[in-house]
Amino acid sequence: MNELNVCLTHDIDRVRKTYQYITKDLRMGRWSNLGSLFTGEKPYWTFEDMAGLESKYGARSTIFFLHETISFEPFNRDSWKLSLGRYSLREPEIGEIIRCFDENGWEIGLHGSYRSFRDGPLLKMEKKVLEEVLGKKIFGIRQHYLNLDEPDTWILQKQAGFSYDATLGLRYRTGYKDERMAPFIDTASGMKIIPLTIMECCLFREMGQDKQKALKRAIEWMDHAQEQNIYYTILWHQHKFNEKEFPGYRWVYEEILKECKRRNARFWLCRDVRVDP
């Protein structure tokens, strides 16, 4: 049996809950979730829980932080998702958590903003800001919403100073885009490309929000990765660790880690992922 190689990743889209009180809780009648509006609780600030869970199973992950600068337009619903609740890498609290993760063995990467996949200067600016906050060079990126023009985005990323991209994946289902499963070097840019296996929202959507079925599907993809001797690459947004807001999501993630541990899996940071010759 092949060794199981696992690459855990997290995209930090937002750290505050804002418009979701309207679009999710009020619209869907989740009255109990409104309590955090008045208690000062931060439903999406789950970093300590995430770190503790991975440490429990001897794992480390790559965490991609976002620096979105799109302006809020009240009559443009799409701008709500991109601008409301966004955070700045320059916020002291954000800088502190970034440096804390780095000092304890996690990898920090850039979650390229929504328009940056077609904007070289914007990529360079965001990379510079993150490196100033972190105090060291970063190597990798994943684009927001998995936005990607091949190979143009990879060329822009390379020009901005990145060495790998973890964007290649499917937005609406699990599995691999165009059956590209193993990491490879893009010939046009020289970038290392790390394909995505599972994104948690796609996994739960496919399985009708049933956590048992979601876990079963996740294990099936784990089996596939081990059989094919490729990396099992997972994307789990940090705010989905809040079980009250997203029932079953944290449970499935921990069950995946348990199974990885049972199989003596090797956990990889994205920067260390190897490309077979």
Classify domain 5-272 by CATH architecture: Alpha-Beta Barrel (3.20)
DSSP collapsed to 3 states, 156-192: HHHHHCCCEECCCCCCCCCCCHHHCCCCEECCCCCCE
235 pLDDT more than 70: yes
Amino acid 30: pLDDT: 56
Among 146, 242, 132, 248, smallest CA distance to 194 is for: 146
- Mean pLDDT across 247-267: 98
Report yes or no: 142 and 234 within 8 Å, Cβ to Cβ: no
Place 148 in a pLDDT band, splitting at 50, 70 and 90.
Answer: very high
Count of alpha carbons within 13 angstroms of residue 18, beta-carbon side: 13
Return the DSSP state at 72. Answer: P
Kindly list the domain boundaries of the chain, sorted by start residue: 5-272
CA-only gyration radius of the chain, Å: 18
Report yes or no: 138 and 131 within 8 Å, Cβ to Cβ: yes
Place 40 in a pLDDT band, splitting at 50, 70 and 90.
Answer: low
Place 21 in a pLDDT band, splitting at 50, 70 and 90.
Answer: very low
Note the Cα 106 to chain centre separation in Å: 13
Amino acid 73: pLDDT: 72
Q: What's the whole-model pTM score? A: 0.92
* Residues counted in the chain: 277
Amino acid 227: pLDDT: 98
Tokens of 165: 């991209």
